[in-house]
Amino acid sequence: MEIKYEYIVCRYGELVLKGKNRRDFINALLKNTKQTLKEFKALTYEARHDGLYIHLNGEDYGKIKTLLAKVFGFVHFSGAIACEKEIDKIAQVALYLAQNTKAETFKVLARRQDKRFKMTSDEINRAIAGVILKNTMLKVDVHKPQLKLYITIANDLAYLMEEKSPGAGGFPVGINGRALCFLSGGIDSPISAYLTMKKGLRVEFIHFASMPYTSKQALDKVKELAKILAVYEGEAILHIVPFTDLQLAIYEHTDESYAITIMRRMMYRIGDELAKRRHIKLITNGESVGQVASQTIESLDVIAKVADTLVLRPLAMMDKSEIMTLSRNIGTYEVSILPYDDCCTIFEPKNPTTKPKLDKCLYYESKFDYESLINDCLDKIETIKITNEIEDEDIF
């Protein structure tokens, strides 16, 4: 039988935080959790020092669980049943939980926050274990129990939990400011955005589109990725840069082997300027050392020189296989591998240089008025809001 929970107890991550930081952490986490779970209208919340207590008020824990696992800032959470702080009542709930699991062995782990409770933790453990032993077939196993029965004697009630679901970890989104994240449509950039958000940054996406060389589907794919990622921050902003004219100018005025390097420098310039205009202090992207020609140390060096804004590369030292595993886990992989060309693949030169020189970059860039083309790009940026809400819901 499925266990009917009344509460969810969510434990905070990054417990090293103290004082005001800790308060900010909890407040941001509460706000983000409410935003993520806003469709469940009956929920009520109480942020306590040991965790966020969510009262289900009849809402379906199963549905909430998947969403809650996407809120950054919790290490783990559990469905809980509460009762009055009387040992008989606690035993009753404990027995209910024990009877409704498939486990054969168990262990009781009691903890008192309310030290006025007349039994010690150890006494509670023994009393409850005794009741379970007497009324079920379960056996005690203190080393590797299949069922861990957690009992928290809080100040108001006793809370009983039997499973821990892993939380998303990290910091609550927004607590560390905002970042501008390059989003191409490939496998890497969504993961860099994910890791950026996990560090508590609210992400705005920037995408370079080369219509009509790239299709509407390619842009839809980027929106789809932004939508999957938006779940982690409630609502995301996507800046779409019309990049075609600038890209054509690059190919006209530079040697083919330098085209990608110059193109990346232009992207960084546009990103840098957009970040300044929106008071964003950090740019992140999916660059990973050595992955392609434009991601050698020499390339990364000459490319990043054009930006004043701090640039961090969450994937810099990760293996492709690690990135792909993460991608599969968060659900962007299936979308990322859809076969639509993006602006990087469409003008792919045959022999891109892996060791670009700065003076050569400057030489090619001196041959055309890229600044006005960049301004043109910036003026024509289309900014849209991406939410995780379902469109056309009434159709289904």
CB 150 within 8 A of CB 109: yes
CB 79 within 8 A of CB 163: yes
Residue 216 binds to another protein (criterion: CB under 8 A)? yes
> Quick one: which of 217, 372, 375, 383 contacts another protein (CB under 8 A)?
217
> What is the bridge-based pairing of β-strands 178-182 and 202-209?
parallel
Residue appearing with tokens 């009983």 = 160
Amino acid at 233: E
Rank residues 216 and 367 by Cβ distance to another protein and give the closer one: 216
Amino acid at 227: K
Smallest distance, another protein to C-beta of residue 384, A? 15
What residues have CB less than 8 Å from 247, skipping those under 6 apart? 210, 263, 343, 347
Q: How far apart are CA 175 and CA 374, in angstroms?
A: 32
**Could you check whether the bond before residue 212 is cis, i.e. omega within 30 degrees of 0?**
yes
Residue 396 binds to another protein (criterion: CB under 8 A)? yes
Residue 394 binds to another protein (criterion: CB under 8 A)? yes
Tokens of 167: 């939380």
Residue 215 binds to another protein (criterion: CB under 8 A)? yes
> Quick one: which of 24, 220, 273, 298 contacts another protein (CB under 8 A)?
220
Select the span of 135-143, 148-156, 211-219, 372-380 touching another protein (CB under 8 A): 211-219
Smallest distance, another protein to C-beta of residue 214, A? 12
Using the 8-state DSSP alphabet, how is residue 390 labeled? Answer: P
Rank residues 113 and 215 by Cβ distance to another protein and give the closer one: 215
Residue 66 binds to another protein (criterion: CB under 8 A)? no
Residue 308 binds to another protein (criterion: CB under 8 A)? no
Which whole-number Å values give the CA distances from 2 to 43, 91, 96, in the listed order? 20, 19, 11
Residue 395 binds to another protein (criterion: CB under 8 A)? yes
Rank residues 290 and 331 by Cβ distance to another protein and give the closer one: 331
Rank residues 134 and 396 by Cβ distance to another protein and give the closer one: 396
Binding residues for another protein, rule: CB under 8 A, are: 215-217, 220, 392, 394-396
